[in-house]
Each structure stands twice: as structure tokens, then as C-alpha cells.
Structure 1
């Protein structure tokens, strides 16, 4: 898993499709869903941490875009 698209595909495997209309909101919701999957023991810790890292990076990118 290397990109936001990969995280979306992970969520899609569990029937979770997120589209809120604004990319930063989508990323925040994906973060919550990944956390719930991990807490429910549907994904392992390595997968959770990798997805969390990607989502955190993408969130920072979106914040910097909004500041400009």
C-alpha cells in the first residue's frame, strides 16, 4: 500500500466507499473507517499503520493546499 488510492481499495474490499465532496473530508472519514476496521480486528496492525501513515501524509498535503 503506497497511495490514497490503495487505501480506498482496502476500504472497498469491506464495502466502504467514501465520497463527501471535499478531498480533506474524504481523508478524515477514511481515517475513521480504517481505525474501526483495525479495532474490529478486520485488518492487522501493519496494514492499519501503513494506511494511517498514508492518510496522515495526504491530510497534510491537503491542508497545505488550502492555506495557499
Structure 2
């Protein structure tokens, strides 16, 4: 998993389809879904960490673009 696209595809394979029309809202929902998958032991710690890094970077990029 190297990009937000990869993360979206991964979450869809797990049954989480996220699209609100708001980029920041989508990213926040990605984060919630990823945390739940980890808490339910459906993903390992490495996958969780990779996903969180991707989300945090993308959130930072979106906030910079809005400034």
C-alpha cells in the first residue's frame, strides 16, 4: 500500500465504501474504518501503520491546499 488510491482499494476489499464528496471527510472516515479493522484484528499492525501514514500525509496535503 503506497497511496491513498491503494488504501481506498484495500478498504473496499474489506467492505468499506467511502465517498462523501468532501475530501477531508473521506479521509477522516478512512481513518475510522482502518482503526476499526485493526481493533477487530482483521489487519496486522504493519498494514494499520502504513494506512495511517498515508491518511495523515493526505490530510496534511489537503489542509495545505486549502490554506
Q: Deviations over 1:35-65 (max 9, x none)?
A: 0000000000000000000000000000001
Structure 1 unaligned blocks of 5 or more: none
Which residue matches 2:7?
Answer: 7
Note the C-alpha offset of 1:8: 0.4
Q: Which runs of 4+ in 1 moved over 4 A?
A: none
The root-mean-square deviation of aligned C-alpha atoms, in Å, is 0.5
Aligned pairs, number: 67
Structure 2: give runs of 5+ residues left out of the alignment: none
1:29 is displaced (CA, Å) by 0.6
